[in-house]
Amino acid sequence: MSKQRNYLFDWSDWKSVLANVIAGIILLYIPANLIPSIWLFTQNVAKSLYKILTTGYSVPLWILVPLIFCTGFIVVAVFAALIPNRNKFDYHSFTETIYDGIRWKWQWGEAGIHSLTSHCPNCDCVLVAIHCRPSNAIGFSCDRCRQEVAISKGGYDDYNEYQGRIIRLIDQEIRHEEKVWRESKEQKQG
């Protein structure tokens, strides 16, 4: 029977403990003359706001205040749109992988993957697809290396059908990575 220790603090969250300790040390060494200057700044901001709100303008204040709030809302919305969403899996940075010994590269568009090309794993040159009729296999050769890079197992009528298989494999890999990402996120939250 193993003894379970009861700790006063859960050390699995050591990063937040370290951040709190560092913040405490920094706050301990803030110079005493900085606090009055912060108070003076706050007083000046309050006085300026009071002066703005009580001064007469050629535009009525009941029009000016909503205009200021709308402008502030638009500024906040623009900044929120510019900050990337960390709650969503971003697969657009995934633009190359290796299948069947061939490096595949592509670009993302509105409809998904486009411009899928096969590249030599040795020199990164674009490969030439060769269709072998008797076995319905597709081979790939490199113009720079002058060697045959890979041959598919067969059963593909043309290169487009083989590319469709590669796109399905890429989609499967993305779904797997998204699943791993979600599981790690749930572990951090739970």
Query: 113-125: per-residue pLDDT in tens?
Result: 888 888 888 888 8
- Please tell me whether residue 119 adopts helix, strand or coil conformation: strand
- Of the pLDDT bands very low, low, confident and very high (cuts 50, 70, 90), residue 154 is low
Mean pLDDT throughout 56-72? Answer: 81
**Bridge partners, residue 59, by sequence:** none
Share of the chain above pLDDT 90, in %: 3
pLDDT at 9: 52
The pLDDT of 162-177, averaged and rounded, is: 85
Highest mean pLDDT among 106-110, 131-135, 184-188: 106-110
Which pLDDT band, with edges at 50, 70 and 90, does 91 fall under? confident
* pLDDT over threshold 70, residue 80: yes
- Identity of the residue numbered 21: V
Q: Using the predicted structure, report yes or no on whether residue 187 has a pLDDT greater than 80.
A: no
More confident residue, 34 or 166: 166
What's the confidence (pLDDT) of residue 74? 93
Higher pLDDT, 54 or 67: 67
Using an 8 Å Cβ cutoff, are 104 and 118 in contact? yes
More confident residue, 34 or 55: 55
For residues 141 and 127, is the Cβ–Cβ distance under 8 A? yes
95 Cβ contact list (under 8 Å, min separation 6):
105, 106, 107, 108
Rounded to an integer, what distance in angstroms lies between the CA atom of residue 154 and that of residue 170?
19
Range name among 3-17, 72-86, 162-176 with the lowest pLDDT average:
3-17
pLDDT at 95: 86
> What pLDDT sits at residue 130?
78
- With 70 as the cut, is the pLDDT of residue 129 above it? yes
